Structure formats: structure tokens, C-alpha cells
Amino acid sequence: MKGRFSGFLLIACTLIVSSALSQNPEWINYTNGDQVTAVAEQDDYLWIGTFGGLVQLDKSTGTATFYNKANSGLPDNRITSIAIDDDDNVWIGTLGGGLAKFDGSNWSVYNRWNSELPNNHISSLATDDDDNVWAGTSDGGLVQFDGDNWSVYNTSNAELPSNRILSLAVDDDDNIWIGTSDGLAMFDGDNWSVYNTSNAELPGNRILSLAVDDDDNVWIGTSDGLAMFDGDNWITYNTSNSGLLGNTVSSLAIDSNGSVWVGTWDDGLTQFDGSTWLVYNTSNSELPDQWVESIAFDDNGNVWIGTWEDGVAQFDGSTWSVYDTSNSRLPNNRILSLAFDDNGNVWIGTEGGLAQFDGSTWFTYDTLNSGLPNNDVSALATDRNGNVWIGTWGGGLAMFDGSRWIVYDSSNSGLPGNAVSAIAIDGKGNVWIGTWDGLARFDGSDWSVYNTSNSGLPDQWVESIAFDANGNVWIGTWGGGLARFDGRNWTVYNRWNSGLPDQWIAAIAFDANGNVWIGTWGGGLAVYNQGGVVAVQQKAHTNSQSFPQQQNYSHPKSRNSDE
């Protein structure tokens, strides 16, 4: 099935970094594809789009080739969609850099400034038999590109039900099927047909995924179930009348035998051959995660399944091969934070509580058996007295000394917010706490609070904190870039005044040479050598209206289901 839009999944694509620090003082960007957004097959290769760049995977050898903004013409490391045309060109949609074409040697980039693209957020892609590329945008409508000319369709000039395009597919007659946030449309090049819950047997109007089978039936995945449309008749499948375990259908694909594979949000994978439903989930198979967001088939008939947080799996019908997943005796498989104390214990924060492991024995703490105020343990640190500081997502901050729990929240302390995203302890023993609502410093008695109104903090949401050898505190924010605070003065680094590849700073660390390593959510990894001037890698802008379009994409804790 060509032109399918793939949703989000996780995969670990590790880059080996060597000799980077021997270069001139500058920012150096690396990518780490922690969040994969699309999969497409091209002969012997799988193309994998991640939030850290593009990966070309040789299916027979497993060899991976990485493309990102630093080593290729890719305009943005956040890949949303991939399509292959009949000339074997790879088309790549990005979250903020527009559309790219790669012919194996050369890159062509199209964006809102050099083409008729309405915006740079490409949500879905498809190609037809005439080699037209169809691009769905976020809130900008549908775009057709024939290699020379652009046509833009939106609610003002077409019968498109919404300008937010979520999925695309092309049938054998080259009709374009468009899934939107407010219904389904079909465009034959001249005429539009619109289907929604009021005029068709669609189970829901949010069309998350589309696929066309060999009989030209259109399969429609919605947030409220699955439907099949043969051009005249509708058949609807949901948890009450089929083998589906969940009604939110996030991904669809049809194999060479005509079986429909259905991925759901948090309810596993289902295969339907027209009469029998087979369900795969974490309890009856080696599927690593219930949340299936991407499905693709290779030439050998193997199905590749991408999940939201536990990697990608390959299934040949009997054997599973799982990549980049981990299993442990933890209260929850989503690991949010880690810390080590002086006794060699590892403390693990999860979405289901806190675990302590001494190398042989596990101890688990949650709201039922301890003073933990919330089971979402999002941040951890240990001080020199052996106390464990625990940040939670909604319950504030807790301190545990091995027997006694003390809880600090916005009602009984100076903590500016109860969603704690980062904790670090400086050389003087002060506890620094990053929250959604600002930064706090606690010396054991007094609180100092920093926010955008009383300091140089560039954003209220503090996601990461670290200290350099000189005692400066480095603060990563969720959307405002990176800040350095020496106790009196603030210095802010962002994508416009430095080589920082992204505004969303997820992690900060220092190596033995004093280099600052910065992990971003969508722009990969950057390193700053403090011995020189920051090298600006992006063209400077003097007019604020000409700034690149900034994407306010969601944190994992507040993911927008439309994306």
C-alpha cells in the first residue's frame, strides 16, 4: 500500500561519536532517533523516519545509514512521513522544515518560503501513478505537486472538511482519499466526495489512518473504530461487533494475502483475513508494547510493527524479533528517571512508582505503601547525606531519608508547581527543582523561585538542570532553549542566536573537559565547547516575521492525539 501515513513509535538509533571534541570550538549536532514517526519500504531497504533524523536500513544485513541536518540536505530532524515514488525518489515530510526529496544522491527541499506550501508542518504523504506528490499539512490543507506546479486545496477553495490532514491514501483509480480531523474526503481530480458520521456509516470523524486493499476497498481507521467502504456499502468494526480490542485505530496496512492489520492505541495489534480475527498483544506474543502506531511489510512478507515507547518488532508469522526494548522487574516499563546513591543503590523512577535496586534485591515504593505523593516519578536526585529527592508529575516533591518521607508542594512550600520535571543538587547542597511553572532553589529552609517575570529564564517550563565546574547552573526549558545562570547574570542560547538545533531541551550533561552536552527533543544532540565562540549554524534573521515557523509540539506527558 503506497502513501500510507505512519504514526509515532520509538526506536533507538545510536550514533557512534568520535573525535568531535577535537574540532574548533563550536556547536556540533548529532541525532538520536528516539522517536520514530514513519516507515516506508524501498526494494531492499526500509526507510525509518525519526524525531532525530532519517534512517536507511538494509533489510538483509541490518546496516543502517543515518541522515540528519548536519550530514545531509534534510531540512529538519523531525520526520513525520515518508513516501516512495515510481522513480525511487524518497519524499520526506518534516515537522517544521517542510518537504524534502532525496534521489539517492541529491536533496531538494520545499518549504513555505520557496514554494507554495502553506506551512512547513507536513503531516502525511502519498504518491499517485502520475508521480504527483500529495502532502497533507497541519492546518494548511492538502497540497499536490507534479514536479513543477503546486496546487493547494483547503476549506476555502475545495470541499475539504478540515484543513488539518491526518492521513492520505491513493486507490487504483488514482483517487485521493484524505483523512482529516473532521471527516473523510475523496478527490478524483475534479470532484469531491465528503463522508462523515452524519451522511455515512463512519464510526468517527477523526480519520487517523487509511489503507486500500487489492479489491479497491478503502479501510478507514478512526478514533472510534474501523470501517470498510467498497464504494457503495459501509461495514463498521468496533469492540462490540468484532475482534478489535480497541476502537482507536492508529495504523493500518494490508498484506499481500489481503489480510488487514490494525494497530490501536494501547490495545495491541489485530489481523483480520475477512473472517477470522487474530489478536497480538503483550500478553500472548512478544509484541513489546500495546500502543501500535506504525505497520509495514517487507518483500519477504514479514510485518514490521512500531510501538509508541518500546521499539520496533519484526514478525514472520511464527517468530518475533524485537529491537531496542527492555524488560525488567519494575513497577512500570516507562522509565522516567534514574539516580545512584553513595551505597551503590540505583533508584528508578517510573510511571508506576519508585524502585530501589541494590544489585540483588528490589524494593518498590508507591502511593499505597509509602509516603510517595504520586506514582509518576519524573525526576530523581540523591544528596551527600544519602537523602533521595523525588519529583513527581502532579504530586510535587518528596524527600526520603530511608525511613521518613517529607512532601513539598505548592500549598505548603515555595515550590512554584506540582509537576516536577527536573532535580539537581549543587556543590553547596542546594536542591534545584524544575517544574512546569518555573525554577526553584531550596537550601533546606528557604525557597528562591525564578520565572520569566523575575529572571532571565526564557520559559516557565524547566525540563533539565545541570551544574558546570564553576558552579554555574544550566537550565533546559521546554520551548525556550537553554539558559546559564551564574547566580547573578543570565545567558540564553536558542536556535536563532547559537547552533542549538532545537528549543526543547530534554537533557544536559558535562564531560571531563567541561564540554556541555545538550539533548533536545526534536533536534538531536549538541555539544558546546566552552573554549570558544558559539558558532551560529542557522542564518541570522533580522525581521521577526521571517523567523522559521516554530512548532509547539507536545511533551510525552501531554501528547496531542491529532499529531
Nearby residues of 233 by Cβ (< 8 Å), 6 or more positions away: none
Instruction: State the pLDDT confidence band at 536, using cuts at 50, 70 and 90.
Output: very low
DSSP reduced 3-state for 291: coil
Angstrom distance (rounded) from CA 210 to CA 226 = 10
Q: How confident is the model at residue 143 (pLDDT cuts 50, 70, 90)?
A: very high
What number of other Cβ atoms are within 10 A of residue 273's Cβ? 12
Residue length, the chain? Answer: 563
| In the chain, ranges of CATH 2.130.10.10 domains | 35-248, 335-558
For residue 384 the three cell numbers come to 551527600
| pLDDT, average across residues 140-165 | 94
How far is residue 390 from each of residues 85, 246, 407, 551, measured CA to CA in Å? 51, 34, 9, 31
Residue 538 has pLDDT above 50, yes or no: no
> Chain-wide mean pLDDT for the chain?
78
Instruction: Give the integer Cα–Cα distance in Å for 212 and 265.
Output: 21
Most confident among 11-20, 414-423, 554-563 (mean pLDDT):
414-423
- Reported as a single tens digit per residue, the pLDDT across 215-225 is 889 999 888 88
Statement: residue 563 has pLDDT above 80: no
Is there a contact between 197 and 204 (Cβ–Cβ < 8 Å)? yes
CA distance 142 to 164: 9
User: Tens of pLDDT along 492-503?
Assistant: 998 888 877 778
CA distances from 274 to 134, 231, 344, 563 (A): 30, 18, 56, 30
Residue 174 gets the label, from left (phi > 0), alpha (psi -120 to 50) or beta, of left
Q: How confident is the model at residue 145 (pLDDT cuts 50, 70, 90)?
A: very high
At residue 363, the pLDDT reads 84
Return the SS3 of 514. Answer: coil
Please tell me the predicted confidence (pLDDT) of residue 125: 93
Name which of 126-140, 247-261, 436-450, 508-522 the model is least confident about.
508-522
How far, in Å, CA of 172 to CA of 367, rounded?
A: 56
More confident residue, 318 or 513: 318
In this structure, which topology does domain 35-248 adopt according to CATH?
Methylamine Dehydrogenase; Chain H (2.130.10)
Cβ-Cβ contacts under 8 Å for 53 (sequence gap 6 or more):
13, 31, 33, 66, 67, 68, 69, 74, 77, 79, 524
Listed in sequence order, the residues at least 6 apart from 389 whose beta carbon sits closer than 8 Å to its beta carbon are 380, 381, 382, 383, 397, 398, 399, 423, 425, 431
Q: How far apart are CA 544 and CA 119, in angstroms?
A: 17
Question: pLDDT digits over 267-285, tens only?
Answer: 888 888 878 888 888 888 8
CATH H-level, domain 335-558: superfamily: YVTN repeat-like/Quinoprotein amine dehydrogenase (2.130.10.10)
Q: Is the pLDDT of residue 303 over 60?
A: yes
DSSP state of 544: G
| pLDDT score for 251 | 67
pLDDT at residue 162 in the model: 94
Is 464 in contact with 507 (CB distance < 8 Å)? Answer: yes
Backbone φ and ψ of 541, nearest 5°: -120, 135
Give the β-pairing of 27-30 and 133-137. unpaired
pLDDT computed for residue 131 by the predictor: 86
Considering only residues 435 and 557, tell me which one the structure prediction assigns the higher pLDDT. Answer: 435
The pLDDT tens digits for 463-496 are: 889 888 889 999 999 888 899 999 999 999 988 8
Compute the distance between CA of residue 169 and CA of residue 252 in angstroms, rounded to an integer.
Answer: 11
Express each pLDDT in 322-353 by its tens digit: 654 343 344 544 556 667 688 877 787 777 78
| E strand residue ranges, 68-145 | 79-84, 90-94, 99-102, 107-110, 122-127, 133-137, 142-145
Predicted TM-score of the model (pTM): 0.51
Q: Is 325 helix (H, G, I), strand (E, B) or coil?
A: coil
Dihedral angle sign, alpha carbons of residues 428, 429, 434, 438: negative
Cα–Cα distance, 322 to 11 (Å, whole number): 10
Give the Cα separation of 184 and 158 in Å (integer): 13
